Amino acid sequence: MPNEDLLTIGQRTYRSRLLVGTGKYKDLDETGAAIAESGAEIVTVAIRRTNIGQSPDEPNLLDVVSPERYTILPNTAGCFNAKDAIRTCQLARELLDGHNLVKLEVLGDQKTLYPDIPATLEAAEALIKDDFEVMVYTNDDPIVAKRLEAMGCVAVMPLAAPIGSGLGVQNKYNILTIVENAEVPILVDAGVGTASDASVAMELGCDGVLMNTAIAGAKNPVLMASAMRKAVEAGREAFLAGRIPRKRYASASSPLDGTFF
């Protein structure tokens, strides 16, 4: 990997392009081990479901995911309207001593966990005005992605597929269009199921991938964390290395056009 290939989000700079969550692990030990193996430097935490100090007498995630080693990225998972999401971010800022980088998600329904786009736009605007640095979960609509960027979000995070589905990138053209139009980092968030899914996202030019279930839900989460670390690096390097064109045959004089599928 070229040494200078860094990911910049807001004011911060990272070497790893894999971001991970903390839910669904067997216990905090497994959480810590998998996250360490993943090589992630940014760890997202569902403030409504995870104790990072709200309940002083219970196990604290920050004991295994140290804020000194990782950028803790509070997220608003479980919020279904702008107001709840904004409050959750404010609570997180208090708990984390003024830390202002957040991942905003405002969900549209319980079943698909797709974002509610109008509420997401509303919450993003309010949070940016309140000096948050907003990384924002969104659908894969290129127009929406551009609007969120224009509004001042520091990273735009389109879904590959529904949260927890493991289906991989469903609409590659949309992700590609979002990437081509972007001037802030585009991180695929949600829907990755296995290593190749993460590579595909990176090969499309995404700046990073965020995942939780794909690692925590694997039979062997620590080994899957290693797979995902390598997959993100592999996809990034393949993107930078410039792949061969797709052709029907080696002997074809030009890449596929018109007859691809």
Phi first, then psi: give them for residue 115, nearest 5 degrees.
Answer: -70, 155
Q: What angle in degrees, to the nearest 10, is found between the helix axes of 82-95 and 117-129?
A: 40
Minimum distance from residue 63 beta carbon to its own copies (Å): 26
Please select the residue that binds its own copies; options are 13, 118, 130, 150, rule is CB under 8 A.
118
Count Cβ atoms below 10 Å from residue 87 Cβ, excluding itself. 13
State which residue, 88 or 120, has the beta carbon closest to its own copies: 120
Distance CA 190, CA 221 (A): 17
Indicate which single residue of 97, 110, 131, 183 sits in contact with its own copies (rule: CB under 8 A).
110
- Helix pair 28-38, 221-241: axis angle to 10 deg: 20
Report residue 82: phi and psi, to 5°. Answer: -60, -40
95 part of the interface to its own copies, by CB under 8 A: no
Among 108, 125, 151, 152, binds its own copies (CB under 8 A): 108
Q: Annotated binding residue at 164?
A: yes
Among 8, 13, 66, 220, binds its own copies (CB under 8 A): 220
**Residue pointed to by tokens 């939780």:** 212
Query: Is the distance from CB of 34 to CB of 25 less than 8 angstroms?
Result: yes
CA 93, 96, 99, 101: dihedral to nearest 10 degrees? -70
Structure tokens of 187? 């991180």
CB of residue 231 vs its own copies: minimum separation in angstroms?
4
In whole angstroms, the minimum distance from the beta carbon of 71 to its own copies comes to 24
Q: Is 191 annotated as a binding residue?
A: yes
Specify whether the CB–CB gap between 208 and 232 falls below 8 A: yes
Closer to its own copies by CB, 65 or 214: give it.
214
Residues contacting its own copies: total by CB under 8 A = 83
Does position 115 interact with its own copies (CB under 8 A)? The reply is yes
Instruction: Determine which one of 103, 172, 230, 247 is catalytic.
Output: 103
247 binds its own copies (CB under 8 A): yes
Active-site residue 146, yes or no? no
> Least distance (Å) from its own copies to the CB of residue 200?
5
Annotated binding residues for 1-deoxy-D-xylulose 5-phosphate, written as ranges, equal: 164, 190-191, 212-213
Q: Which residues are catalytic?
A: 103
